[in-house]
Amino acid sequence: MLLRISLIVAILAGLAAGGLGYYEVTTQIPSLTKQRDDENTAKKQALTELASTKSTLKKTQSDLAQTQQDLADTKADRDKANARAEAQSKRADDLSDKLAKATQERDDAQNDLAAYKASGLTPDQVIKLNNNLKDAQAQISTITLEQHILQREIVRINAELLKYTDPKSFVTLRAGLRGKVVDVDPKWDFVVLNIGDEQGALQDGEMLVSRDGKLVAKVIISRVEKDYCIANVVTGWKLGEMIEGDDVSPAHPAPAS
């Protein structure tokens, strides 16, 4: 009898221990499952962030390479503009020397002609001196015209060079530059002006459009031809509708030399 009771007690104890173990396992499974799911979610998020970081790094490297290329191109353009400016300045100096020499030759010829006339030279001698004088005057006119063209080219190159050395600066235009609006496109907000390269118009130069002394708009020159240019309205500076015949003048005139 005692043995039977002991067996029953042992069986009951075993069942109780098994039930307790089962209970602990069943209560821990959801916690373990949640922990596993959280770890999987964190792993996926980390992988996603790693892929995003790699993509951002790749784009940053690409942007850096493009920026370095743009910087190299800008430096190359600046060096070219510097070289052109130096070449044009040297040419201008040469023309000035030629002009001074031709002017001296003309003055000498005029003095010689006056002296020869006073001394009673023959007609052939006078004709020869007169021809020499005309040749000198023609040469001076040619050099003066070429020098004028060269000076306009130097101003244009200096304005182009200024865009690289000081991007925030304004393109200055000849203080006395004046013109008229000869055509208007209201749809695209651009105008045609009757001033061009020969008059001193420069690309990116800003002009004030006025009528009867009142400001109508400010435009910036986008294209320059020989005797006309095309200009677009500057954003925020259209105070009224432009019409043919409106006056234009520099927004940033160069200081008087």
* 48-68 pLDDT tens trace: 777 777 777 777 777 777 878
Note the pLDDT of residue 120: 65
Strands 247-250 and 206-211: antiparallel
List where CATH 1.10.287 sits in the chain.
78-165
Count helices and strands in the chain by DSSP H and E runs: 2, 6
Domain with CATH 2.40.10 in the chain: 179-250
Eight-state DSSP code of residue 253: B
- pTM for the structure as a whole: 0.45
The reported pLDDT for the residue numbered 10 is: 66
Which of 172, 179, 174 minimizes the C-alpha distance to 193?
179
One of 1.20.58, 2.60.40, 1.10.287, 1.10.3470 is the CATH number of 78-165, namely 1.10.287
Question: If pLDDT is split at 50, 70 and 90, which confidence band does 87 have?
Answer: confident
Phi/psi at 100 (5° precision): -65, -40
**Matching residue, tokens 């690289």:** 164
CATH no. of 179-250: 2.40.10
How many residues in the chain? 257
